[in-house]
Every structure is written in structure tokens, then in C-alpha cells.
Chain A
Amino acid sequence: MKAQNPRSRTAIQHYQVDERTEKTLGRVLQIGVLSAGIIVFGAGIAYLVHHGGDAASFKNFQVQPQSLRSPLGIFRALTELRASSFIQLGLLVLIATPIVRVVLSAYSFARLRDFLYVLVTLIVLTVLAFGLISSR
């Protein structure tokens, strides 16, 4: 409708991301959410089998043990085969999913030689990484 107007050419940039990356993006999100769901579901059943009869007392906040609080701690604790560690692993996969999406966006902007947005994406990634690594 506005295509005749040469000044609006920028407005007709239909695809900001090339279609191939777009498809990959959708796939990554699906796989991320699905695998997180499966891990949490499986671990949840195991957790219920072991702890289903325990009293549910969540009204007093207690800091979780170190093994459930950091990515590294969670990975280390997996060898002990505790259900709660595997639930945290699934949640970690879930938290990583949007971050992977941002990484893929950076790649896609780079492919389009859109370096302004590569920079924008890297700033966002830095904040995300800081949030995940910061230990306070």
C-alpha cells in the first residue's frame, strides 16, 4: 500500500531475520521448553515418590542449600542422584532457553551484517550473563 513511496523503503523490510534462522529459533525454543518440561516432570515424579508424604512447610523462608543455588552446584550435585537436583537442572535448562535465543539473534544479525544490532544484542547478553554468574 505504501510501496510506491520510495521514502518508505525501510518500512518494507519484511524480514528482519532471515527465514532459516527464524525456523531454527522456533525449534530451539520448542526443544528448550520441552526438554525442561520433561526433566522437571520426571524428576517431579521421583520427588513425589520419595517426599510425597513429607509436610509441605513453605511458609518460612530458608535459603536453599548451596548445591541447589548455582549452575555449578547443581551440576556437581547431579551425581548424588537426588530428585531435587534434577528439578533444578530442568529449571536451569528453562532459564537458558531465552538466553540461547538471544545468542542466536546475535548470530542472525551478524549474518545480515547489521552490526548496530549485534552490539545491542551483546549488551543484553552481558547483562544476562552477569545475572546468572553474579553470586550475591
Chain B
Amino acid sequence: MPVQPYIDWPGRPIALKWATYENREVTEVNIAEFTGLTLVGGFAAGLVGSLTGLGGGVVIIPLLTLALGVDIRYAIGASLVSVIATSSGAAAAYVREGFTNLRVGMFLEIATTFGALAAALVASRVPVTAIAIVFGGVLILSALLSARRQEKTAISHKPDRLSRRLRMDSAYPNRQGRMISYRVRQIPGGFAVMFVAGMLSGLLGIGSGALKVLAMDLIMRLPLKVSTTTSNFMIGVTAAASAGVYLHRGYINPAVAMPVMLGVLAGSLLGARYLPRAHVRGLRLFFVAVILALGVEMIFNGATGGFR
């Protein structure tokens, strides 16, 4: 008998069809096959995620739950681990180039780690259905956010008292190696958005990079290069705050997390290597469309009880 209702969409990859259809029940997939499929999926998620700057977590959870029938709690645990892998791997490349604003990052970390820990602690009391629906909403939101994140934000030169007191104003090297100075604005607003980003990260096991960059780009007016790398640094630390809680809860299943972590890590390292040269507008739009569709499906599936 069918184990779980599956909903098809036109562009569904053949490999996933093989796993869920063709009269196969998901329970018939053995560990070796599951590992292979998840490795490939994780690799693709990591590659596209790092090329577009959206991160792999937003794809890996729908992939595991909708296509491979994995319980959403295992998917969240595995995704959280892969988020740390992506973030740390990319940070190793960025931090030496002097883009990351460590003061801004560390200060905002207070908000994100508190948010993540709080959300992780209550997560087990939130019904799985609600988590799936919130996740779908976040997917749609981050798709919309990243679709419009194209224009450059104007660098702020207006002095800000709080920023001066917290010594956050800084500079970063441009392509010619010249230092471009910038100031930081509206720290309380950024702090509040970061708390929400941390909560979402702790509840859903994603990096919520889109929300972090939004806070730093649009509210605090950091230059794009600085906000991207600083947010990347923060994603790893935020995920580490809730990872411990999820480990204790038993959400981190070695058989699920192993292929996810390895696939995403390999994909994102490859993506980071080609990031400066890749022409990504078309890819980004495609990815945005995919995430939008996944978001709708997560909500639909959650609302119809598909995650029971």
C-alpha cells in the first residue's frame, strides 16, 4: 500500500521519480541507494546554493521530505549540519580577504544565537505540520527576497552614534586593492531582524542567509561584499547554537546526515571555487522558481497532513 501521498510536478527529476514511483515504495529503497540519491541531491543543492548565494538548506529539506519520504525532523538535523559545512568551508576562503566585518558579525551573533537556541528548545513542542507550513512560507519569502536582490545598495557615509560607539565602521578592499570605507546604520533594526533570522534557523535548520543579508544590506547599509561574507560567518555560528540541541533530541541521524553533509560540502566547495567567474542571473532566476514551487508544495503537503 502507498506509504505517503506524493504530489508530482512537471520538472521532477527522473532520479527522484525512480525513488518514489515506478511501483516502488520508499521503504524498498535500501541504504546504499538512499545514500547515492542523497549525495547527488546534496551536491546539486550545495553547488547551486553557493553559486546563487541562497545556501543549500532550503533545497535539501524539501528534497529529503517530499521526494525521499524522510521525516522532517531528520531532514532538519541533516540540513543544519550541512549549513555549518557550507558556511565554514566558504568562510575559510573569504576571511583572509578582509571583507568580513567581525565586529558587526559578532555583535549580531548575540541576536541570532539567542533566537536559534530559543527556537530549537521549543521546536519539539511545535507540531510537525506547523513547521512544514512555516518552512514553505520562508521558502516563498526568500525566493521573493532574492529575486529582487540585484541592485547595489548605496554605501552610507552618514555617521551614526551607536555605530561609532560600537566601532563598527570599517573598510574593505575593492578589486584594485584600494580600501573603501563604509559606515553602519540602524543597528537596533538590524539586531531585531537578526533575532528573527536566528529563530527561523533554529526552528527549520536552515541558514536563513537571505534574511541576514536583507538585514545587513537594506537596513544597516553594509556593502554587498561585506554583508555576504559577514552573513556567511554568522550562519555557521548560528547553526552551531541549535545543532547541539538537535543532537540531544536525536534529530541528527548519522545515516541521513552523512550523505547530505558530504554532498553539500563537495557541491558548495566547487561552487565557491567558480563563484567569481560564474554568470548566475539565469541560474538564480531558475533557482528562485524552483524554491517558489517547493515552498508551495511544502505548504500544501503540510496542510493536507502529508508530514504525519
Task: Point out residues on A near B: beta carbons under 8 Å.
Answer: 1-3, 7-8, 10-17, 22-23, 25-27, 29-30, 32-33, 36-37, 40-41, 43-44, 47-48, 51-64, 68-71, 83-84, 87-88, 90-92, 94-99, 101-102, 105, 108, 114, 116-117, 120-121, 123-124, 127-128, 130-136
Contacts and interface: CB of A to CB of B under 8 A. Distances in A.
7 contacts: A16-B103, A47-B255, A95-B81, A95-B240, A95-B247, A98-B87, A132-B243
A26 B4 CA distance: 45
A15 B34 CA distance: 46
Interface in B31-75: 31-35, 68-71, 73-74
A52 B247 CA distance: 24
Interface in B247-278: 247-250, 252-259, 261-262, 265
Given A52-B30, A91-B261, A29 B91 contact: yes
B103 A94 contact: no
Chief secondary structure at chain A's binding surface: helix
Q: From A30, A58, A127, A131, name the one whose CB has the most chain B CB atoms within 10 angstroms.
A: A58
Contact of A91 (B4, B81, B102, B110): B81
B250 A114 contact: no
Contacts of B254: 43, 47, 68, 83-84, 87-88, 91
A15 B98 contact: yes
B257 A87 contact: yes
A70 B248 contact: yes
A59 B233 CA distance: 33
A102 B237 contact: yes
A44 B258 contact: yes
Contacts of A2: 157, 181
A131 B117 contact: yes
Interface in B68-121: 68-71, 73-74, 81, 84-85, 87-89, 91-93, 95-96, 98, 101-103, 106-107, 109-110, 113-114, 116-117, 120-121
Contacts of B171: 11-14
A36 to B, nearest CB: 7
Contact of A54 (B30, B73, B110, B114): B30
B179 A58 contact: no
Contact of A68 (B102, B167, B183, B250): B250
B26 interface: yes
B70 A59 contact: yes
A59 B27 contact: yes
Given A54-B30, A62-B250, 19 more contacts: A1-B181, A8-B181, A11-B181, A12-B179, A22-B96, A26-B91, A30-B92, A37-B261, A40-B262, A43-B258, A47-B254, A47-B255, A48-B32, A53-B31, A64-B250, A88-B247, A101-B236, A120-B107, A121-B106
Given A33-B89, A36-B85, A40-B262, A61 B241 contact: no
A124 to B, nearest CB: 5
Contacts of A97: 84, 88, 236, 240
B186 interface: no
Contact of B179 (A14, A36, A59, A71): A14
B204 interface: no
B224 interface: no
B32 A52 contact: yes
A116 B107 CA distance: 10
A55 B25 CA distance: 11
Contact of A58 (B88, B121, B166, B253): B253
The 9 closest A-B pairs by CB, nearest first: A132-B244, A52-B32, A63-B250, A56-B34, A64-B250, A87-B254, A98-B236, A29-B92, A131-B244
A51 to B, nearest CB: 5
Contacts of A64: 250, 252-253
Interface string B207-250: 00000000000000000000000000100110111111101111
Contacts of A120: 106-107, 109-110
Contacts of B237: 98-99, 101-102, 124, 128
